[in-house]
Every structure is written in structure tokens, then in C-alpha cells.
Structure 1
Amino acid sequence: MTATLIDPGAEAARLEALRRYQVLDTPPEGTFDRVVALAARAFGAPIASVTFVEQERVWIKAHRGLAWVEHDLGGDPGLCVSAIRGSNPYVVTDTLAHPEACEHPLVREEPRVRFYAAAPIVTADGHRLGTVNVMDVEPREADEAVLHTLTDLAALVAGQLETRLSARAAVTLERRLRQQAEAERGRLELLTSTLRKVLLPPSPPKVPGLDIATHYHVASADQVGGDFFDVFRLDEDHWAFFLGDVCGKGADAAVVTALARHTLRAAAVYAVDPEAVLANLNMVLMDEFLGADPCYCTVLYGVLTPTGEGVHVKVAGGGHPPAMIVRAEGDVEALRTEGGMLVGLLQEARFAVAETTLRPGDGMLLYTDGLTEARTPAGHMYGEDRLRSLAAGLAGQPAQAVVTRLEETLSAFGPGLTDDTAILSMTVPPIVKRHSR
């Protein structure tokens, strides 16, 4: 393959990127198997695969219809090696009429491929690592719409690689810092400051037509905890938010917290549906902690869409207390995602979705159970009823006013506040009526 590339430096950079994603010589994974199944189904093709092109070979990460082929092939041009030369789908309608493809082993020998179509897997920085491809044993034409599907599947594979890389880097960082802290207690401050930067997002962004405020309290002496939240932009018209609670406290919980926050941000770029984002997080947690003690969390993840009426909210729940919707007139309702399961506990976890629209004066309150399970000075649990009553009294108030009132309430608990607590308040400002003179 090297001889076919104009710039040896670019090829060296591509190979370095391929090694960085650590996908070569790895066992089968469900995500890539599903991509292959979708590709074969979309084309009605008997053969499909996800491949990664190294210097002298092509590694077959997932396949359908190539049971007799080893996991890797030689670096012969004509099929996958040729497909990564460009950024657009690569199609060979009849391999026997193609000067390079006709000499490829898959054409000359079993399965005697006659048709080949592939979309390159392109990283965020432009490196073409491999292909998502389909093959047939008869010549055929490629439909443009189906080629778009192939391109989308290749983008999904690239997104999965980015998610794995981000999650691996975050977990590696947290583990290394934790080991350093355990070996040298004098370096605990380094762990604390670094983890807080990883776990806590900057101040909330400006979302059109929405007022946002947050609160975060860490119960652990390490000053790092298991609650997490974030609000960030997806595109011109959509914003994402999430709030969650990891089982446990301190540095152990913080490792999962960092992984969850980075994974949710990465998955949100490639998955439109909130339910799919939680499914991605569930898969990452299951893969990362396979064989270890379960590391799970509860999460609410949603998408905000400003509209002419206010802000549309679509949220997926994974075992977390429902978001509290506070209407402008003082009514309080729970945005329930009943049936949503804990994230990271079961391989085939299910997540529930709910939708609503926040109109002028309406607000939404997300919180972790550190708030509702806090003990009042009298020793009673604060509970959802007290929280609902407080929220109703703050209907139509700015988000910061809601958070400030909750902070005043929390400060009165003193020793009764024993768990990490996160609060995310969002309010659509009411319409100010101007009085005519």
C-alpha cells in the first residue's frame, strides 16, 4: 500500500493514528458486528465487513459471509486498500473489469467477489483507517441512497472509536492519579484539583430562551465525588444536558464519574436519540469494568430544542429520580421515565424516554438523591414532598433564585447532608407584560 501513497509522511501519521485507537488484533465486539449486519441488510448483500488497513495487511474486525477467511488479509490493492485512498464511497461494479481488483485474492479465490462498495472510516482529524464495506458474488450497480447509508455506518464506527479512545484516556488518567495518591498521601491535593477539573464543567452556557443555574456539593473528604452534570451545545438548534449519580463516594466513584461524563459528551455527537446515548454509556461501563465489581450509575440525559413556544425537552432516564417540571402557574409535575434501568449494571439495560415543552415561566429541576435524602435538623428525611412544595413556591423565578433557595435549605441541614448533591435548574423566562400609559 505504501507505494500507492504520494506522501509517506501522511501514511506514517495514518498508521500512528490506527495504533492509537488500539483496534488491531482485538476480539469481536457487538457494536461492530451490528454495523456489519446493518450494512449487509441495507445492500441485500451476502458479504459485509468492517476492516482496518495496516501497512502490510488488512485486519477484519467484523464480518458476515467470510467465515473461511482469516482475521487478516494481505495488503493487496483493489478493494479495502484502494478504498481508503479517498474520502468518498469507493465502488467496483465488476471486479473482473477492474485493473487492480481483478488480482485481489478475494476475487481470484473464494468467495470470488464480483461487486465491492465501501465507505472509508475517517477520524476527526482526517485519517482514513479502514472501511465499512459490502460485497457480492455477482456484478451489480450501487444505489446512491444506499451508499449514503454506508457512509453513515462508517461515521458510526469512527464515533465508536473516538468514544473508546476518550473513555480509555479518562480512565487511565483517573487510575494513575489515584495510585499516586495512595502511594503518596502528600500528593492528594494534585488528585483533588485534577479530578475536579475533569468532573465539573465550566459555568453553564447560554442557551437561547433558557436560564440555567447549578449547585454541586461533595460529601467526601477527598473533595471529589460521584455526582455529575453538564449542559453543552450539539448543533445550531439543539443542546444537551445530563445529571447523574454514581454508586459510591470519593475517588472510586470519581473514576466512574469521569468516564460517564466524557462518554456522554462523546456519544452525544453521534447519537441523536437520548435513549441511544444512555445505551452507549451502558456499553462502555460494562466493557470497562467487565469482571470487576459492578460500577453503575443513575442518569438523566436530555436534548433541549428552543422553539417559538419555549423549549422542547426530550429526556431519557436510567434509574434516576424524574425531573421536576414547575409550571408558571405553580403546578408541579414529574417528568417520569418509568422503566429506565440503572446504567452499567446489565448488558441489555432498557431506558425510558419522556417529552415536554417548557413555556414562558416554566422551569425544570434535576437533582441527585443527596438532596431528597438529606436529614433535617429534626432528623427527618427532606423528601420529594418538601422539595415539590418549595419548587411550587418558586414558580416563575429565575433559575439562580431556585438554586439559591435550595442552597439556603441545604445549609440548614449541617451534619444531615452526608451525600454528594448536584442540582441543575433551568427556567424559561416569563414574558414581561408592558403596561400601556
Structure 2
Amino acid sequence: MGPTDQDPGREQDVDATDVAFTALLEDSAEELYEQAPCGYMSTLMDGTIAKINTTLLEWLGLSRRQVVGRIRFSDLLTVGGKLYHETHFAPLLQMNGEASGIALDIKTADGQRMPVLVTSKVKTSDNGEPMLVRTTLFDARDRRAYETELLRGRQVAEEARLQAEADRRRLQEALAVLQQSLLPAELPTVPGLEASSYYHIASPDLLGGDFYDLFPLGADRWAFFLGDVCGKGPQAAAVTSLTRYTLRAAALHDPDPVTVLTTLNTVLHERYASGEARYCTAVFGVLSPGSDGVSVHLASGGHPSALIQRADGSAHDLPTPGGMLIGALPQAQFTPARTQLLPGDTLLLYTDGLTEARPGADRELYGDDALRAFIAAQPPAGPQALVTALTGLLTSFGDGLDDDTALLALGMPTRLPTPGSEEPT
């Protein structure tokens, strides 16, 4: 058979193959559209959905009959998405004929939000008239943070920011009032004694757990305490309130410092034994002013030792070793200590926000030794002067001070010479 001869059977086979291949291409194109890894839709110029693929319907949890010709593209969006669509997406599409990579959220049938990246392009007729909008949606759930920022319009974001600032101010005002209710409005005047206090709030957005008080016991005796509740926030505030009133009530019943702390330990442990453990550290003491000085009897439970600045300029701890956390165990050991404050001496109690500060570029722990050295360097001018100096120290720490700090200083003023008398040489 020559090269120009034709084989009718072979020609029929070729025609059949062409037909089958064409059918396969058509079937594959339709399947690619319906089962694509992204969502496809075509909408009329008013947004009504005219065509949608199976992938997007499965994301939405809707049937084709519920969508095509019945709802608009914007109906698939969240409230914020609708606002962004109307104010940004639709105008951009109208002006440019396309919009690419816009972050939006679509609503699924079960009420869930699904983040997507949307690209739309307007299809026009031969004479340039817009006919429909073709849209592709990509699943962007792994890019939630990025999309959220893109989703918001400037006006919505600004309104949200202003509302958040207003809410924060109201919260801070409420927290400040509550914080003050957990502290004495002012320290009482104690005959023959000078007292001074200071409270540093690390964050106006969080309730602190530091506390202190000074109150009369009668018969020329005065009780004082200072401590720190574990944690912050409303739960810590509740423990602080319970602690303060328990210490006051226990002291009026039996002012022995160890007994008072033991009572507090029992109350806290029984109150929180069935839930999340709550505990605190504290120093409780009794002052007995006299003509020659002030007798101090105190006990400590897990709290930093009190410091004494003597009239001669020296500074040292009043050791209370072995005192245990209050409320952590059903039975706890508390360590008592006694001392005498003479004219010019000052007793300082503080919470660990002071010594655990990390000031400076190196962020090294300030520590107990540095505090003793600082106090020893201050002239022995009484509680108010010492608290003022410590307040300046706390301010100098800047953002290195990230915890609340309470200070309570008690002392006996230096005797002043009687008018007309001579100073001893």
C-alpha cells in the first residue's frame, strides 16, 4: 500500500480517539472546577451568585439549591466582612475591575467563621460592559492573625480602639477603687510612734495582692501586719480581703503573733482546701510603746525578714527563720522575734517586689544585700524619711520593677532637747 493510500479502519480509530480525548478533557475541566482545592463562584453585577463549585459549597455546608440565584456573595460574609465588602472591596472592584488577595471571613451553616483570601475579577462584554464577577476563595485558616488585621477597615479599627481604651479606663478606675478598699485609707496616729507607708502598683490593669495595716488593740498596744497574697486579679483580691479581716479579728481575740498567724493559716487552708490552693506570706506584730522605747513582738510566715535602721546609722535584719507559707498546709510553723525600738530607730517591713526587681540594662536581681546597703546609707531620720527614700529607689527601677510593692515603716522619733538645756558633748 503506497503512502497516499488510506486505511478506513485506522481513520475510524483516530476519530474515535479524538472524540474520547475531547470528552475526557471536557470531563476533567468540569471536575477541576467542581473539586478544585479552592472555592470558585460567579456572581451577577449585583452580587447574586449564579454559579458555585462543590468545594465552596462543602466549606459553607450548603446545597447548590440554597445558594444559586437565592443569595448574594455578601450574604456569605460575617458582619465585619459585609462592612468591609461595602466600604472597600466593592468600590475597589468597581474602580479597577479586580481585587486581589483580600482577607475576609465567610459564615458556615453551623455558625462558624472561616477565614479566606478572596480574588475577584469582572468579566466584560466585547463592548466593555460588565457582565459578571468571577471570584476565587482560598482557605486561609492558618493565617488568622494576618487576615484579621486586613479584614478590618480603618474606621472600624479606630472605633474598636477607642472603645477598648474607654473600657480599659473604666476598668482601671474600678480596680483602683477596689485596690484602695483593701488598704487602710490612712495610718492612725500612735502616741510616741511615727508610722509611714507606701504602695506601688505595678499594673493599673491588675489587682495586686500586697496588703498592710496598723490598728489599736487597746491598753496602749498596737497591732501591725504586712504581707503578700500569691497571684493577682479578683481571686487574689478575695484572699487579700479575707486575710486582712481575719488578722484583725484574730488579733482582737488573742494578739500573740504566732497564734494570729496560726488562725489565719487555718482559715485560708479550710476555705481553699477543696479548690485551687491559695496562700500568702505575712508578718504580724504587736507594738508596746513605753517611755524609753517601743517593744516589738512579731512573727513571720514565709515573708522576708523585717529590717531595722538604728539611730547610729547601722541596718540589720530581724531574723525569723523557718516561717512557713500561710494557708499551704493544715499545720504550719511560724517564727517569733522580739526587739526594742529606741529613739531614732525604724522598723521596715516590705514585700518582695522591692528585692526581686531587676533594674538596669543587665536585669540583675536587686536583692537583700543591696537593700540593706541602701538603708545603711540613708541618714536615720525616721520612718517618713526612709519611706520617701525607698519610694525614690522604686521609681529609679523603671520597668525593672514589675511586681506590686508595699512598704510599712514604724519608729520612735528621736528625742528633742528640752528648751534651755544643753546638748551633751
Say if 2:371 is the partner of 1:394: no
Letter in 1 for 2:224: F
User: SS where residue 253 of structure 1 aligns?
Assistant: helix
Larger Rg: 2
Answer yes or no: is the 8 Å Cα contact 2:206–2:232 preserved in 1. no
**Structure 2: gaps of 5 or more residues:** 1-166
Shift of 1:322: 0.6
Which residue pairs with 2:259 in the alignment?
Answer: 276
Which residue pairs with 1:198 in the alignment?
Answer: 181
User: SS where residue 360 of structure 1 aligns?
Assistant: coil
Shift of 1:230: 0.4
- Tell me the distance in 1 between the aligned counterparts of 2:168 and 2:263: 35
Shift of 1:339: 1.3
- Tell me the distance in 1 between the aligned counterparts of 2:390 and 2:176: 26
Of 404, 409, 421, which residue of structure 2 is paired with 1:425?
409
Instruction: Summarize the Cα distance change of 1:380–1:317 in structure 2 as closer, same or farther, 3 Å threshold.
Output: same
User: SS where residue 220 of structure 2 aligns?
Assistant: coil
Of 325, 348, 358, which residue of structure 1 is paired with 2:308?
325
Instruction: Summarize the Cα distance change of 1:395–1:210 in structure 2 as closer, same or farther, 3 Å threshold.
Output: farther
Of 312, 320, 323, which residue of structure 2 is paired with 1:337?
320
Shift of 1:251: 2.4
Say if 2:261 is the partner of 1:295: no
Shift of 1:190: 6.8
- Tell me the distance in 1 between the aligned counterparts of 2:327 and 2:370: 31
Please tell me the root mean square deviation across aligned C-alpha atoms, in Å.
Answer: 1.9
User: SS where residue 275 of structure 1 aligns?
Assistant: helix
Which residue pairs with 2:196 in the alignment?
Answer: 213
- Tell me the distance in 1 between the aligned counterparts of 2:186 and 2:174: 22
Shift of 1:186: 8.9
- Tell me the distance in 1 between the aligned counterparts of 2:342 and 2:251: 25
Shift of 1:194: 4.5
Shift of 1:241: 0.3
Deviates more, 1:416-425 or 1:187-196: 187-196
Alignment of 1:4-403 (within 5 A): 188=171, 191-378=174-361, 379-403=363-387
Which residue pairs with 1:19 in the alignment?
Answer: none
Q: Percent identity?
A: 50
Letter in 1 for 2:293: G
Query: TM-score scaled by structure 2?
Result: 0.57
Letter in 2 for 1:436: E
Shift of 1:396: 2.3
- Tell me the distance in 1 between the aligned counterparts of 2:387 and 2:255: 30
* 1:35-85 deviation digits (Å, cap 9, x = unpaired): xxxxxxxxxxxxxxxxxxxxxxxxxxxxxxxxxxxxxxxxxxxxxxxxxxx
Shift of 1:204: 1.0
Count of aligned pairs between the two proteins? 254
Letter in 1 for 2:386: V
- Tell me the distance in 2 between the aligned counterparts of 1:324 and 1:361: 14
User: SS where residue 372 of structure 1 aligns?
Assistant: coil
- Tell me the distance in 2 between the aligned counterparts of 1:387 and 1:193: 28
Which residue pairs with 2:157 in the alignment?
Answer: none
* 1:274-322 deviation digits (Å, cap 9, x = unpaired): 1111011111101111211110110000000001211000001001001
Instruction: Summarize the Cα distance change of 1:334–1:207 in structure 2 as closer, same or farther, 3 Å threshold.
Output: same
Shift of 1:393: 2.3
User: SS where residue 205 of structure 1 aligns?
Assistant: coil
Answer yes or no: is the 8 Å Cα contact 1:326–1:395 preserved in 2. no
Shift of 1:416: 0.5
**Structure 1: gaps of 5 or more residues:** 1-183
Shift of 1:408: 0.9
Letter in 1 for 2:228: D
